[in-house]
Amino acid sequence: MELKRTPFYSLIKEMGGKFVPFAGWEMPIKFSSDVEEHKWVRSDAGVFDVSHMGEITIKGKDALKQVNYLITNDASTLKDGEILYTPMMNHRGGTVDDLLVYRVSEESFFLVVNASNIDKDYEWMLNNNKYETDIVNVSDSFAQLAVQGPNAESIVQNLFVENLSEIKFFNFKYLKFDNETILISRTGYTGEDGFEIYIPLHIAESFWRELFNKGELLGLKPIGLAARDTLRLEKKMALYGHELSDTISPLEASLSWCVKMGKLEFVGKEYLLKQKDTLKRKLVGVELIDKGVPRHQNEITLEDGTPIGFVTSGTMSPSLQKPIALVIIDSQYAKIGTEIWLKSNQKLKKAKVIKTPFL
Amino acid sequence: MSQVVDGFGYTKEHEWVKVESGFAFVGITDYAQGELGEVVYAEFLKVEGDSIEKGDDFASLESTKSTSQVFSPVSGEVVAYNSKIEDDYEIINSDPFGDGWIVKIKLSEPSQIGQLMGATEYKAFLDTL
């Protein structure tokens, strides 16, 4: 299958982006150094091309009910212009995807889903359209940029007349750029301050140029997806296919803060009611004490090699300069300070459960 | 463009071999280090004195993003690992063909060297990627 390219492909190529196939797209994995890019986002500001992400709208008089039926978090707490993060479950206790829900109005929601799950999510929503709402996959209409880092606001502010400090965390606004409407939200996947910006395709390139025109002097740099992954991991943000999957429930992924059991109904509720008091495994953070780097799917064991779980994501943390991992293990070993072992390169390496987020 | 050095032998897995009086020094190429990203940890999978067969993995190189196994292009005996690497893993990125060498092997089948690609052939191979 031919890989898709975002509207920023040529601009990013000119800037030295190194591309890899990702979820059907040709995406920049890094520019020169993923470690330096990571640190730059923590100290200054960077921009990520995340145009591969999907967008789905749900509209109709029962849009709120429909959204709330699909997700585990509670969208009824949202006012217009507010956003929440939530898993969306299947009927078997697994997770279809994790997404952001933007409330435009009670009758109109904008959902942002993972690139690799767009088709699956869309089909799932259509098949579970209990309230007969109007569900449309609008992924091909938007480019998306994430500007992240302590200097993000001062950089993005230069492109808009409106005062961006008025957009609070997990809020969004429609603003004008070049007489076109752009959706801008104070959200991100790095744990830093910043914005995610949804741009109509035909002005995407001019938006990028203007962003760098104004932002370069303030230290804006393009950042690859490798750094995005390590940035989110240090902050314990879930990555679908790792911490969450069709066979991992939101409770097992330690996302109980976005599961609202008090809601009247939602897909997965019955399963979670049974699971919540006898949660057999859960997600915790681990630091490797011996040398090495934990990797996705490495086994977690006891000292004698008995398996008790697996690594969902692992890396050498660029900020902390130590090997860290998120792991799903038997609940009895999940207490902070518990010593566990990581199987890597046919060896058992000592690790321990530590507090998260790591940073 | 990735750098390629004359006088070395190369594999399709992007290892290089330099032969000096019966010993082979093995490392990864400039192309390979670029693909891998900054090396943040290297684990040596054999110990000095171990025998090694062509195709055996002898090191595991870790970047923040991924793990890469390094395979021996030759058979022989592991004489030494490069201790400089353990002081500064990034030397594999900054000087892949020089101070970033990984292992020194005493060749048991010197004829294997002839099966490696030369610099010109390896350059042509890189162009196909």
Q: pLDDT of B69-116, one tens digit each?
A: 999 999 999 999 999 999 899 999 999 999 999 999 999 999 999 999
The pLDDT > 90 percentage for chain A reads 98
pLDDT at A149 exceeding the cut of 80: yes
Nearest CA among A260, A239, A263, A251 for reference residue A311 = A239
Tokens at A115, concatenated: 């690139």
User: How distant is the Cα of B90 from the closest Cα of chain A, in angstroms?
Assistant: 11
Measured CA angle at A76 (ends A74, A82), to 5 deg: 90
- Name the residue facing A316 among B40, B43, B45 (closest C-beta): B40
Q: Strand, coil or helix: what is B72? A: coil
Q: Indicate the helix (H) or strand (E) that contains B112.
A: none
The ipTM (two decimal places) reads 0.82
Q: Which residue of B has its CA nearest to A225?
A: B65
**pLDDT of amino acid B1:** 75
B40 contacts in A (CB within 8 Å)? 35, 293, 316
| pLDDT band for position B14 (cuts 50, 70, 90) | very high
Report all structural domains of chain B as residue ranges with CATH numbers, in order of start.
9-122 (2.40.50.100)
Q: What is the dihedral of CA B32, B36, B39, B43, to 10 degrees?
A: -80
If 0-12 CB within 10 Å is exposed, 13-18 middle and 19+ buried, where does residue A181 land?
exposed
- CB contact under 8 Å between B37 and A30, yes or no, is yes
Rounded CA-CA distance A220/A147 in Å is: 9
Spatial separation of the C-alpha atoms in residues A243 and A250, rounded to whole Å: 9
DSSP string, A72-94: SS-GGGPPTTBEEEEEEE-TTS-
Q: Of the CATH numbers 1.10.10.60, 2.40.30.20, 1.10.357.10, 2.40.30.110, which one belongs to the domain with range A280-354?
A: 2.40.30.110
CB atoms B67 and A295 under 8 Å: yes
Q: Residue B65 and residue A33: Cβ atoms within 8 Å?
A: no
Instruction: Say yes or no for a CB contact (<8 Å) between A226 and B60.
Output: no
| pLDDT per position as a tens digit, A12-60 | 999 999 999 999 999 999 998 999 999 999 999 999 999 999 999 999 9
Is residue A122 within a helix (H) or strand (E), and if so which, with residue range?
A: helix A118-127
How many pairs of residues across A and B have Cβ atoms under 8 Å apart?
Answer: 43
Q: Do A33 and B37 touch (CB under 8 A)?
A: yes
Is B37–A34 a contact, with Cβ atoms under 8 angstroms apart? yes
CB-CB contact of B63 with B39 (8 Å)? yes
Question: What pLDDT was estimated at residue B65?
Answer: 86
Q: Where are the domains of chain A?
A: 280-354
Nearest CA in chain A to B41: A292
CB interface of B with A, residues 33-62, below 8 Å: 34, 37-38, 40-41, 43, 45, 60, 62
Q: For A204-212, what is the mean pLDDT? A: 97
| Cβ-defined contact of A30 to B38 (cutoff 8 Å) | no
For residue B62, give the chain A residue with the closest CA. A293
Percent of chain B at pLDDT exceeding 90: 92
* CB count in 10 Å sphere of residue A277: 6
**pLDDT over threshold 90, residue A1:** no
Per-residue pLDDT tens over the stretch A288-335:
999 999 999 999 999 999 999 999 999 999 999 999 999 999 999 999
CB atoms within 10 A of CB A65: 18
Contact list, A18 vs chain B (CB under 8 Å): 34
